[in-house]
Amino acid sequence: MADICSQHDCAWEGHLYNLLGYITYHISKSPEEALTYLQKAEVALKGHNMEGRGPCLLVNQANLAWVHYLLGEQAKSKAYLKEVARLQEDFPAPPGCDLHPEVYGEKGWTQVKFERDFKQKAIDNFELALRGDPDRKGWHTGLALAKYRVNFDAGDEELREEIIQQIKHAKTMDPDNLRLAAVYLAALAQVGRNTEDTVREAHDLVQRLRPWLHGLAEVLYFFRFLSLDSAVEVAEEMVKKYPSEREAKKKLAVFYKMKMFKSLHMQGKADFRELMR
């Protein structure tokens, strides 16, 4: 995650550093280390010209107040709490919302990183965020990804179609999000909607992937539905193109293992048939 944050054009740098600060403290119980990440988040959030920049500082400033309190730095903690109060006054929650949509959205993006129960809570928080800010593309993207991860595999035909439409809608609002585009193709493949157009879109998407390869796992999932050899071919292409990317190497290793076990399984069947003659 720290590697992704250091990427030059990472639009989610501030949010990811916020998350790193939260995780670091709860793992290491080190407020000093958490403070380092939260300060980086503050710089990133103040520097990026992004939608919701003002209210998105709410979570970060509250986190900084909390960490300075843990460090016994009461004056700094109070200063950040004062800034939180100012932001709440400047950016009040919309009618019908207990919290600002940015807070719900930040909670959603944090929860979607964890296990299923937290992902379900992420769905709830993204829906609350959209209730207060229905045009925010980031919340539509988060809701679509959370619903896909939680409900798609276990869903019936009607629910799967609803999620596909949710992903499609989010994709139209966030057309540059390669991971979202890859998830959409993977979802179509899972319900048997592979066509020449989707295969062409998947190959085009592979060419658009850049270092850090956001969407690689999902687009390889799509090719795995076509055939194992197709997935191996694309993974090999990514490793050759970006030899330092761990995710591409990991996926390729998994596919090689699958091919090996498939070969051994087929060989075992052939040997059994020979014995039965």
Predicted confidence (pLDDT) per residue in 40-76, tens digit? 999 888 876 555 567 888 889 999 999 999 999 999 9
211, 261: one domain: yes
Where does a domain end: 175, 205, 238?
A: 175
Instruction: Report if residue 87 sits inside a domain.
Output: no
CA distance 49 to 91: 17
Residue with the bigger pLDDT between 5 and 164: it is 164
Number of domains in the chain: 3
CA distance 186 to 161: 13
78, 112: one domain: no
269, 181: one domain: yes
Computed over every residue of the chain, the mean pLDDT equals: 87
Q: How confident is the model at residue 110 (pLDDT cuts 50, 70, 90)?
A: confident
Residue 5 pLDDT? 47
* DSSP E strand stretches across the chain: none
CB–CB of 62/84 below 8 Å? yes
Domain containing residue 145? 93-175
Instruction: Report if residue 88 sits inside a domain.
Output: no
CB–CB of 106/139 below 8 Å? no
Predicted confidence (pLDDT) per residue in 221-248, tens digit? 999 999 999 999 999 999 999 998 888 9
Residue 48 pLDDT? 62
Predicted confidence (pLDDT) per residue in 189-220, tens digit? 999 998 999 999 999 999 998 767 688 999 99
DSSP state of 94: P
5, 43: one domain: yes
| Residue 100 one-letter amino acid | H
Conformation bin of residue 133: beta by default, left when phi > 0, alpha when psi is -120 to 50: beta
CA distance 181 to 205: 8
Phi first, then psi: what are they for 90, rounded to 5°?
Answer: -75, -30
Where does a domain end: 61, 82, 103?
A: 82
State both tokens at 181: 């585009």
Instruction: Report if residue 121 sits inside a domain.
Output: yes
Per-residue exposure over 30-54, b if at least 16 CB sit within 10 Å of its own CB, e if not? ebebbbbbbebbbebbeeeeeebee
63, 43: one domain: yes
Instruction: Report if residue 190 sits inside a domain.
Output: no
166, 181: one domain: no
The answer to whether residue 118 scores a pLDDT higher than 90 is no
181, 163: one domain: no
Instruction: Report if residue 253 sits inside a domain.
Output: yes
CA distance 40 to 62: 15
133, 98: one domain: yes
CA distance 10 to 274: 58
Q: How confident is the model at residue 250 (pLDDT cuts 50, 70, 90)?
A: very high
181, 239: one domain: yes
Average pLDDT over residues 150-170: 92
Where does a domain end: 82, 106, 122?
A: 82
